Amino acid sequence: MSDREQYTPGPASGAQIQKDGEKWTLILVRELRHSPERVWQALTDPAHLREWAPFEADGSLGAVGTMVKLTTVGAPTPQVSETTVTRADAPKVLVYNWGAQDIRWELEALAGGTRLTLWHNIDRRFISMGAAGWHICFDVLDHLLSGTPLGRMVGGEAVKFGGWQRLNAEYATQFGIKAPNWPPQAAQES
């Protein structure tokens, strides 16, 4: 049995939301057993991003002013957005936007690893879905950096994954919101 077949995400944890009127920001924290330099490479290098992130990048995200096209993966219709990296303090802080959403990564060195913090503003109706998706992406990232890759699980593939459904419901409960009915019941039955 492969690592992917045995993979089950842990409980929803390490997440909170910041509310500023209609703008909600997901804050997700994960401690990884890898150096900030290795995590930074995984966040900025297109080849690494292809292994775990919910988007493809046509260039490195590692330098301020760099313009990169980000393309969603696994979406019914791929969304392409141009982004400009607005902050890249390797290996500590990375800031860019993804479509109309702001993405901020902070890496803090810990004994034996890195505390990775993501700030991602997401439409409040879908914030538990975003938390579930990033949770799985972080697990995939951790496995990738550990040398036991699971393969990217994003978009429709992640939504069909039973662990994603559970995480979506758990994060919705933690955030005090109603979990979105996604995928719609008809899609779940097919």
Q: How many whole angstroms separate alpha carbon 165 and alpha carbon 161?
A: 7
Average pLDDT, integer, range 153-161: 83
Residue the block writes with tokens 């559970």:
166
Average pLDDT, integer, range 154-177: 89
What CATH number has the domain spanning 3-189?
Answer: 3.30.530.20
pLDDT tens for 46-59 read: 999 999 999 999 99
Q: Three-state SS for 142?
A: helix
Neighbouring residues of 72: CB distance < 8 A, sequence distance ≥ 6: 54, 55, 78, 79, 80, 155
Q: For 186, phi and psi rounded to 5 degrees?
A: -60, -40
DSSP class of residue 180? P
pLDDT tens for 69-95 read: 999 998 878 889 999 999 999 999 999
User: Distances in Å between the alpha carbon of 31 and those of 90, 125, 142, 151?
Assistant: 18, 27, 9, 20
E strand or H helix that includes residue 62: none
User: What per-residue confidence (pLDDT) applies to 7?
Assistant: 86
In degrees, to the nearest 5, what angle opens at C-alpha 188 toward C-alphas 176 and 49?
75
User: What per-residue confidence (pLDDT) applies to 5?
Assistant: 77
Q: How many whole angstroms separate alpha carbon 185 and alpha carbon 167?
A: 17
